[in-house]
Structure 1
Amino acid sequence: MKNLSNNTQAMLFGLGAVLLWSTVATAFSISLKYLSPTQLLIVANLVSLLFLVSLILFKGEFTQLITIAKQSWKSSLFFGAINPFIYYLILLQAYNILPAQEAQAINYTWAIVLSFMAVPILKQRLKVADYIAAGACYFGVLYISTRGQISTLEFSNILGVAFALLSTVIWACYWLFNTKDKRPSLIGLTLNFAFALPLILIYAGLTGELTHWDTRGVVGAIYIGLFEMGLSFILWNKAMKLTSNTSQIANLIFLAPLLSMIWLSQIANEPILSSTLVGLACILSGLFIQNWAKRKAP
């Protein structure tokens, strides 16, 4: 890749990350047939932690990792409790209850939640485009949740929808708090997974989920830990550092849910509902409006 320009390399790294993210819903769907959300999270968290620590050893930053761990153990515990512990437990519950296509589509509204929560926390202002985007996104959520039966408001599974929406709030909170995190990004992420692991194990012990494992779900959990929680972060981070046009790379995100529908139908054998496609189109339209407005802003 040495002969390629930085922007071309950034595009390739970004596409690699998006391609990996697009397979996550399928991996969740298959693995949750055999493992509980907590069991899946244990394996994925452990695999991701091993991958990130290996990367830090390769970069010769292990001493720095230990030093920062001692200095910032409270913040590491705080961030680790939010993500991956609470966030993924809630998100995986949504995937466990809802069809993966619905949980994934609703989860994409986290960017709208982020904009609105940034008002009281970061003192940012909302624009007209933010309200329009929110209206489009949540109309899409309503359409998906009722499977097109908006007039009757008959929700397919209100608990699953609640979990999916709650995951967007937790993810938005994580990123808002993350703006004040002074730790280097890779080391910070590694410490989050390190401090979250005992919390997940304690929770699994209290809920009796450390026994009765179905090994058929382990391969999928390893895949999630290695690619969704580990390698995709590295690829995306690399893309954002190399590019001179951040918006161009950020727009690649719109490919992920569309590719995901293909993998879900072809690999997980999940029939794609027309209501999901209509709702997802509304959500992506809302996100596009929001991104377009940000690019036009001075």
Structure 2
Amino acid sequence: MAQQRAMFFGLAAVLCWSTVATAFKLSLQHLTPTQLILVASLTSWLFLLGVLAVQGKFRALFRQSSRHYLNALLFGLLNPALYYCLLFTAYARLPAQEAQAINYSWAIVMSFLAVPILGQKLTRADLFAALICYFGVVIIATRGDVLGMQFEDTFGLVCALLSTLVWALYWILNRRQEQDAILGLCLNFSFALPVLGLYAWWSGELLALFNSVAWQGWAGGIYVGMFETGLAFLFWLQAMKLATNTSRIANLIFISPFVSLVLIAVILKEPILISTLVGLGLILTGLVVQQRYSQ
């Protein structure tokens, strides 16, 4: 029964994440990347505050050590600030199918960062997985013209790849934290929001957000905040907590990119390229190789 409930929560999280690539792209038709980060982060922060209040942990926000607050500031600058700045910039410049597919390569990046940061060693499986994965990235980025090596938007591609680096770094550093996951994430948003707000004010995007953004932009930002780092995060935590077989839950994540592509094709009307399917297949193959054979 516990495993069935875990599967239910895991699938709910995966379905939430499957919608966000489409939500990103729709929201960026009305918002700049900075505005989208600000609205989504504010929504996530309020949601997480509510969750802590329901759990009776709200007061814990004000009882942390100075070290925890410093860590929260640094983590908040990584996620949500820098990570989503890079990710949303990539989505603003690239087709959604390409940005979301490249984003799945972050797990490979994490294995390489774990070498200097955690002192882990790379195995042959890690190197083989990385080779497969990044060949897939090249196929997606060049839209199948691998020999020509011509990129549709080099800056967008760089932002997408850098976002995987930041996300992997965030999770590696976060492994050393023993804090409650929801409390820690809420603190990250608490410190990131003033920084994001000041930047939006300095760039003039804060005033424009309230003066000229259509309701669709606000709705999109709120949706992203609720389903990207809000409900999906809670569902996934609950799934991992209930699971008697963690690997079966973890494997659910491989459903997400394909559901996402269907939504991108149906809602955004993006023709799904063969190069995207081939590249995504290689990226996921690389992840499977890493999971099964890397020790």
- TM-score normalised to the size of structure 1? 0.95
In structure 2, the residue matched to 1:31 is 27
> Deviation string for 1:122-175 (max 9, x for gaps)?
111111111111011100100011100011111111111100000011011101
Match status 1:115 vs 2:111? yes
Q: Deviations over 1:22-81 (max 9, x none)?
A: 001000010001100000111100110111000100111111122127662211111111
Corresponding position: 1:146 with 2:145? no
Following superposition, which runs of at least 4 residues in structure 1 exceed 2 angstroms of deviation? 69-72
Q: Which runs of structure 2 are paired with 1:202-241 in the superposition (5 Å)?
A: 202-213=198-209, 214-215=213-214, 216-241=216-241
Q: How many matched pairs?
A: 291
Is 1:133 the counterpart of 2:124? The answer is no
Identity of aligned residues (%): 51
What is the identity, as a one-letter code, of the residue corresponding to 1:77? L
Task: Point out where structure 1 has 5 or more consecutive residues left out of the alignment.
Answer: none
Contact 1:107 1:168 in 2 (8 A): yes
- The amino acid that maps onto 1:285 is T
Unaligned runs of 5+ in 2: none
Query: Whole-Å Cα distance in 1 between the matches of residues 67 and 90 of structure 2?
Result: 35
Rounded Cα–Cα distance in structure 2 between residues aligned with 1:235 and 1:122: 28
Report the Cα distance in structure 2 between the residues aligned to 1:210 and 1:52, rounded to whole angstroms.
23
C-alpha distance in 2 between matches for 1:209 and 1:168: 26
TM-score, scaled relative to structure 2: 0.96
In structure 2, how many angstroms separate the alpha carbons of the residues matched to 1:7 and 1:33? 40
Task: Please give the per-residue CA displacement for 1:79-98, whole angstroms capped at 9, x wherever unaligned.
Answer: 11110011100110000100
Q: Report the more deviating stretch, 122-131 or 136-145.
A: 122-131
Equivalent pair of 1:68/1:183 in contact (CA under 8 Å): no
Which residue in the other structure is 1:8 paired with? 4
Contact 1:107 1:167 in 2 (8 A): yes
Moved more, 268-277 or 219-228: 268-277
Report the equivalent of 2:249.
249
Amino acid at match of 1:44: A
Map of 1:18 onto structure 2: 14
Over 3 Å counting, the alpha-carbon distance change for 1:69 and 1:87 in structure 2 is: farther
Partner Cα separation in structure 2 for residue 211 and residue 267 of structure 1: 30
Q: Please report the RMSD computed on the Cα atoms of aligned residues, expressed in angstroms.
A: 1.1
Alignment of 1:181-196 (within 5 A): 181-196=177-192
Q: CA deviation at 1:182?
A: 2.8
Query: CA offset at residue 186 of structure 1?
Result: 0.9
Partners of 1:233 and 1:120 lie apart in 2 by: 28
Q: Which residue matches 2:279?
A: 279
CA distance 1:207–1:69, shift in 2 (3 Å):
farther
* Distance (whole Å) between structure 2 residues aligned to residue 165 and residue 225 of structure 1: 22
CA distance in 2, matches of 1:247, 1:291: 10
SS in structure 2 at match of 1:23 = helix
2: CA distance, partners of 1:183 / 1:70: 14
